[in-house]
Amino acid sequence: MTDLSVVIPVYNEEENLPPLWAELSQVLERLGLAFEVVFVDDGSRDRSAEIIRSFREADARVRLVRLKTNGGETAATDAGFKAARGRRVVVMDADLQNDPGDIPTLLSHLDHWDAATGWRVRRAEGDNLVRRVSSRVANRIRNWVSDEAIQDSGCTFRAFRRECLRGLVLYRGFHRFIPTLLKMRGYRVVEVPVSHRPRRFGRSKYGVLNRAVVSLADLLVIRWMNARLLRYEVVEDVGGDLVRD
Ligand code: UDP
Ligand code: MG
C-alpha cells in the first residue's frame, strides 16, 4: 500500500532534476511514509528522461512516465494523476521553485480537507515584477469571472486525497483550475501558504501574453461549466433497488 505519490511534470529540466531529487528524497524519507515519486517526462528534448532513469536505478520508489511528445503541463499532470497509486497525491513543479519542505504542511491539511493548494505568499522572492503583477491581475480576473475566491490560482503545488482525482476531466490549460473543478464536484479545498523560490536553471515555459490570452478563453469555459453544473439531490427512489445493471 503506497501512502503517498508525488507527481512531477518535467519538460526540459535537466539541471533542476538532481538537486530536486536530492532535496525531495530527504524530505520524504523523514516523513516515514511508503512513497513513490512519479516523474512525468513531457517529451523533453534534453537529458531529463535519462537522468530520471538513473534515479530509478538507485531507488525503486522512483517512476518515469514518459509522454511521446510534448503535451503540455496539464497533460503531464493528468498522466501523473492516472499513474499515481498513493492514497494521497502531491503535485509539484520540477524547477525547484516549490520547496519540498512544504510537503508535510500540505499533507497535514488532508486530515480535514479533500485538497490543499499552495498560496505563494512571498512571491517577491520567486519571480520578477512583470510576472508578479500579471499574476495578481490574472488572479483578480479569474476570481471575478469564475466567482471564486482563490488567492493564488497559478500555484501548482498541491496535495489531494486520491479519490478526488478520480473522474476529474482535464483539458489543456485546466491545471490552473483544478481547485475550482474540485469544488464544483463538492470537494473541500483549502489554501495553504507555501514558499516560492527563484528559478535557478532552465526557463519558464510560459510568456506573460500567451498565458493571459489562452487562460482567458479557458476561464470562460470554467464559468460556463459552473453555470451549467447539474445541481440536484435525489430525495426519493421508489423501487430503485430492483434495477441492476
Ligand atoms: N511543464 C511541462 N510541460 C510543459 C510545460 C511545463 O511538463 O509543456 C512543467 C515544467 O517542467 C515545470 C512545470 O510544468 O515542472 C511548470 O512549468 P514552468 O516552471 O515553466 O511554469 P511557471 O513556474 O513559469 O509558471
Ligand atoms: Mg516554474
Q: Please report which residue ranges of the chain form alpha helices under DSSP H.
A: 17-31, 48-58, 73-83, 103-108, 129-146, 178-184, 208-227
Output the CA 15–ligand 1 centroid distance in Å: 14
Pocket test for ligand 1, best of 74, 93, 200 (most atoms within 8 A of CB): 93
204 within ligand 1 shell (Cβ under 6 A): yes
**CATH number reported for the structural domain that contains residue 111 in this entry:** 3.90.550.10
Rounded to the nearest 5 degrees, what angle is found at the Cα of 8, between the Cα atoms of 157 and 66?
155
Output the CA 128–ligand 2 centroid distance in Å: 12
CB 27 within 8 A of CB 104: yes
**Could you give the number of structural domains in the chain?**
1
For residue 244, the model assigns a pLDDT of: 62
Q: What pTM, to 2 d.p., does this model score?
A: 0.93
142 occurs within a structural domain: yes
| Higher-confidence position of 130 and 60 | 60
CB 18 within 8 A of CB 42: no
Condensed to tens digits (0 to 9), the pLDDT of residues 161-193 reads: 999 999 999 999 999 999 999 999 999 999 999
28 occurs within a structural domain: yes
For ligand 1, what atom is nearest to the CA of residue 72? Answer: 8
| H/E element, 118 | strand 115-120
Condensed to tens digits (0 to 9), the pLDDT of residues 2-33 reads: 999 999 999 999 999 999 999 999 999 999 99
State the DSSP code for 196: B
74 occurs within a structural domain: yes
Going by C-alpha positions, the residue among 220, 140, 128 that lies closest to residue 174 is 220
56 occurs within a structural domain: yes
224 occurs within a structural domain: yes
236 occurs within a structural domain: no
CB 143 within 8 A of CB 150: yes
For ligand 1, what atom is nearest to the CA of residue 8? Answer: 15
242 occurs within a structural domain: no
Output the CA 131–ligand 1 centroid distance in Å: 15
CB 12 within 8 A of CB 46: yes
244 occurs within a structural domain: no
For residue 224, the model assigns a pLDDT of: 95
**Residues whose CB is less than 8 angstroms from the CB of residue 186 and which lie 6 or more positions away in sequence, other chains included:** none
Q: Range of 13's domain? A: 4-230
For ligand 1, what atom is nearest to the CA of residue 76? Answer: 7
10 within ligand 1 shell (Cβ under 6 A): yes
Residue carrying the nine cell digits 525531495: 24
**Residues whose CB is less than 8 angstroms from the CB of residue 215 and which lie 6 or more positions away in sequence, other chains included:** 138, 142, 173, 176
Output the CA 233–ligand 2 centroid distance in Å: 41
For residue 124, the model assigns a pLDDT of: 60
For ligand 1, what atom is nearest to the CA of residue 203? Answer: 20
